[in-house]
Chains A and B, each alone.
Chain A
Amino acid sequence: EVHLVESGGGLVQPGGSLRLSCAASGFTFSDYGMNWVRQAPGKGLEWVSFINSRRSTGSPKYYADSVKGRFTISRDNAKNSVYLQMNSLRVDDTAVYYCAREAVGARGFDYWGQGTLVTVSS
């Protein structure tokens, strides 16, 4: 059974940093692209970042405009984990952050974690 478990959320001051982790199990992790998606309080879903599977030649990484230059996505296939390094955090980064597995052929996100809450506040 596929499981995705996020961790690393918490309270951080504006301008601070946080590193989120997502531990995967139940599937061949290195075969799948992975994404981070967030939902701010009372708002809709917002895609944050994508990292390709190991089979891609250059492992492209993509970022939403709102986080580009501040957030960095990475993965460790030996640890079946994907990470999101968040720097220069702003109040409007406050959200529940979900990791999600991208279905083969980019057919949506077929598995999601339960999310981890990031609160940016002074």
Chain B
Amino acid sequence: SYVLTQPPSVSVAPGQTARMTCGGNNIGSKSVHWYQKKPGQAPELVVYDDSDRPSGIPERFSGSNSGNTATLTISRVEAGDEADYYCQVWDSRSDHWVFGGGTKLTVL
């Protein structure tokens, strides 16, 4: 089945830019969705279809996808952005939704 690979952790200082990657075989041909997950809370969709933002999500959140890597970028990081972030794609070969292992964003 399709595998998505995310680095376990990323650290960034407040006000800086955080970039979190999601690797997969030819992932650029798929639509990638990103979720923010804080402890004790439900996941929240922050980017869909590679680079679109749901209403209410700050413009600081952006995404890109090409080749074998998709990237979630958070500009001007705030303490409240500290969370786990998951990428997701639909694998049409197996008819499965697939999540990456998640990246823990730490705001220093």
Contacts and interface: CB of A to CB of B under 8 A. Distances in A.
A45 B44 CA distance: 12
Interface string B20-47: 0000000000010101010001111100
Interface residues of B, number: 26
B3 to A, nearest CB: 13
B99 A47 contact: yes
A47 B43 contact: no
Contact of A108 (B33, B84, B96): B33
Contacts of A109: 33, 35, 43, 45, 88
Interface in A83-122: 98, 100, 103, 106-110, 112-115
A2 to B, nearest CB: 12
A114 B42 contact: yes
Interface residues of A, number: 24
B99 A45 contact: yes
Interface string B83-103: 010101010000111111110
A65 interface: yes
Given A108-B33, A110-B54, A50 B44 contact: no
Contacts of A35: 97
Nearest to B37: A45
B43 A112 contact: yes
Contacts of B43: 37, 45, 98, 100, 109, 112
Given A44-B99, A60-B95, 10 more contacts: A39-B37, A44-B100, A45-B35, A45-B86, A64-B96, A65-B1, A98-B43, A106-B90, A107-B48, A112-B43
21 contacts: A37-B43, A39-B37, A44-B84, A44-B99, A44-B100, A47-B88, A47-B97, A62-B95, A64-B96, A65-B1, A103-B48, A106-B31, A107-B31, A107-B33, A107-B52, A108-B33, A108-B35, A108-B48, A108-B88, A110-B45, A112-B42
